[in-house]
Amino acid sequence: MDKADNRAHEQQRVNYVIDEINKKAENLYSRETGLKEDVIELRKNFWEDVTVNLDEPDDVIETQASIKQQAELLSQKETIHGKIEDELKTLKKLKNSPYFGRIDFIEDSETKTEQIYIGIESLLDSDEKDFLIYDWRAPISSLYYDYSPGYAQYETIEGTVMGEVSLKRQFIIRQGSIKGMFDTGVTIGDHLLQQALGNNASTSMKSIVATIQKEQNKIIRNKGNQFLIVQGVAGSGKTSAALQRIAYLMYQYREVLNPNNILLLSPNPLFTSYIANVLPELGETNVRQTTFLDYLKDKAGSQMTVESPFEQMEYVLTGEKHTDYLVRMKSIDYKSGVEFKYMIDHFITGLNTQGIQFKNITFHGEVLISNAQISEYFYSLDPQMGVPNKMELVSKWLLKKIRRQQNIEKNKDWVMEKVELLDKEDYLNAYYNNQEEDEDDSSLEEEILRKVVVKRIFASIKKRIKQFDFVHVLTTYQTLFTKWTPKDMPEYWKEISEQTAANLSQKFLTWEDATPYLYFQGRLLGDHHDRSVRHLVIDEAQDYSAFQFAYIKHIFPYTRMTLLGDTNQAIYTYATEENPLFLEQQRETEKVTLTKSYRSTKQIVDFTKHFAPGDELIEPFNREGVKPELTLLYNETDLAGALVDSANDLRKNGHETIGIICKTSQESDMIFNLLKDKISVIQINEETYSFQKGLLILPVYLAKGIEVDAVIIPDASDRQYVKESDRTLFYTACTRAMHALVMIAQDNPSPFIEEAPGNEYVKIQ
């Protein structure tokens, strides 16, 4: 069969599959219509169909049963209706592009070759017997991603299936019509990738199921290790692969895994919004998503102010003239490492015998139980017992004392004043409770009302005791820096201690103190391990300190984790060799390295790899484009004009989303004020929650994980990017670009640019 016949034959099959989709959709529509009418009717006549009789106890029970039965019937029909809606959405997606791949496979024990078509969802024929389309996550679909024509195998629950792939074919199908068809080898063909990567940047990340590469498939289908570490160069598709991995896990373990069992830690709110559509595109509900900052803020509570990592970064980059800058940098360095964790552990061991600060428990301005009494009771307990266990015993002891006090307060005059302010409903309840006692005694009613008042008043005290609010965590933590002397004193410890104590007195936690403080709080009061999280995915993992990783492992001790990052983009000062991304493979850990960059053109990758911070191999995908441009200015007043001209030129070349990526928020503000009256611009800060097209201005640390059509670096001079610590910032900024990179420098360009050969970029003077 020649190429034209092949294509005609494949189009016939697409038409047949779409006919089957239409039939299934018609059937579902008719079922949906009937169900919708049933649901409306049930809601409308709910109470008419319920037998309501409250005269006798038996009648009340019958009424409750009738309401429950009617509610269950309504709920059942609404659930079925929801499932039909989901199926119809899937069919609508399949109708546009039913599948993207085909493999012909013959098992060793068989004589007949099976044609396997692969799409984003499975589809059975009208008899519900044979698969017209296999879900990309099905075991057999792994053949498509992992093998060239020839010997192949895949794993099932029953064991390994071996055989031979005789054909591997890719499709581009739009609106039910084949736009492209290619036979290919092990790598998903350049044709499909060229089309996907040559488009403009989107405001949201798209799924990559049609173009998953073999190395990405290894990430997606990994099952055996507690820790999967993915070191991927900029634009290697690590985040996309991780999201496909989540979809794969939810497909494989549907019976035991739900969206609440998976937690994704994103680098910032903008990125959370950027990736929000991927899982729904694949027919899965979005999993729990948050930033590590929000996670810590939630644990710290509203009484504490927590510095963001971006505020810390801004200080590091712009605060050199502050008198306390050196001390702060030493503090960041020390508190980011596990040595500080060991110091806290040692400090807590000492607190088992002395030093914990407690609060008075007061009521109406009087001390009910003093902090000295609480301390005396705590330290009278067995010192061999762990601190959190002793806190539990103290809590129970306090609750007993409070209950006794509650009984004393019940008979005081102030209670009757509160009784007079009770609602009518409270009086009725007291009356009915009195009737249950078979007495008509007004004094008993008064007793019941007094109990109601006192119980309510003391409820908040009891709640705070159960939450261990009688412990002064912050004050106790402060004593680590004011009254405690470490055995091995770190450099600048006296100055670090003074700086930290001053911040804590303002209830302010710097970013380097937030995790240690919450670790200390957990060790003191008892950590509540989040056992609901079965799988944790951490993106931009290179930006986490060693202490932060130790804390995460402490909070999620039984959780499988996928850590994604790029050591070339480790922009934070505390990125050290203790970061897991730098570690070699260990027990219970698998490390996958992605070396090929798909985001940027070959010209951009070839240019940026010369000043990449690490030694990792970086391979460009073969997508041609224009060389990066370096524009040299000799007059500062020309900057606004140069930026406007560059943006307009890039737009003329079809680039819709252009990022002016600055080193700091300070520079971002300056550029925004320079341009806002000259051209339409959108400024992005850490409070930005949605990604949009246009001319964007943002600091580099908020650009992590996203991509734009073109990047303009407004100050690529040697006064802005010169220190070795600036290398990762400059590399990260440049590698956000998909199609074009423009650098503007006043006077002398950054030395990093000059590390690339002159023929790798165009210099404009």
Detail the residues annotated as belonging to a binding site. Answer: 232-239
What single DSSP character describes residue 613? S
Residue 411 contacts by C-beta under 8 Å, 6 or more apart in sequence?
Answer: 450
Type of residue at 675: L
Cβ 753 vs Cβ 608: under 8 Å: no
In whole angstroms, give the CA distance from residue 42 to residue 38.
Answer: 6
Strands 508-509 and 535-538: unpaired
Which residues make Cβ contacts (< 8 Å) with residue 49, sequence separation at least 6? Answer: 42, 70
Four-point Cα dihedral 353, 357, 362, 365, nearest 10: 140
Contact at 8 Å (CB) between 195 and 180?
yes
> Is residue 562 classed exposed, middle or buried when 0-12, 13-18 and 19+ CB atoms within 10 A define those classes?
buried
d(CA 16, CA 711): 45
Angle between helical axes of 493-505 and 473-482 (0-180°, round to 10): 160
Query: How far apart are alpha carbons 672 and 659 in whole angstroms?
Result: 12
Between CA 306 and CA 318 the distance in angstroms is 20
Q: How far apart are CA 190 and CA 198, in angstroms?
A: 11
Beta strands in 62-149 (DSSP E): 101-107, 114-119, 123-124, 131-135
- Tokens representing 23 are 């039939």
The Cα 736–Cα 732 span in angstroms is 7
- Cα–Cα distance between 272 and 684 in angstroms, integer? 14
The strand ranges marked E within 224-371 are 227-232, 262-266, 288-291, 305-306, 361-363, 366-369
Q: Please, are residues 377 and 351 in contact by the beta-carbon 8 Å criterion?
A: no
| Of residues 488, 474, 478, the one with CA closest to residue 342 | 488
What's the start-to-end Cα distance of the chain, in Å? Answer: 58
Distance, CA of 100 to CA of 116 (rounded, Å): 11
The 8-class DSSP code of residue 556 comes to -
Q: What does the alpha-carbon distance between residue 157 and residue 148 come to, in Å, rounded to a whole number?
A: 24
Q: 57-96 and 3-44 helices cross at what angle (nearest 10)? A: 160
In contact, 679 and 647? CB cutoff 8 Å: yes
Map residue 509 onto helix, strand or coil.
strand
- Residue type, position 657, single letter: T
H runs (alpha helix) in 97-233: 142-146, 190-198, 214-220
Rounded Cα distance between 403 and 391, Å, is 18
Tell me the binding residues for ATP.
232-239
At 358, give phi and psi (nearest 5°). -115, 165
Strands 762-764 and 629-633: parallel
**Sign of the four-CA dihedral 529, 530, 532, 538:** negative
Residue type, position 672, single letter: F
> CA torsion sign, 244 to 246 to 247 to 253?
positive
Helices 387-410 & 442-466, crossing angle to 10 degrees?
A: 160
Which helix H or strand E contains 560, and what residues bound it? strand 560-565
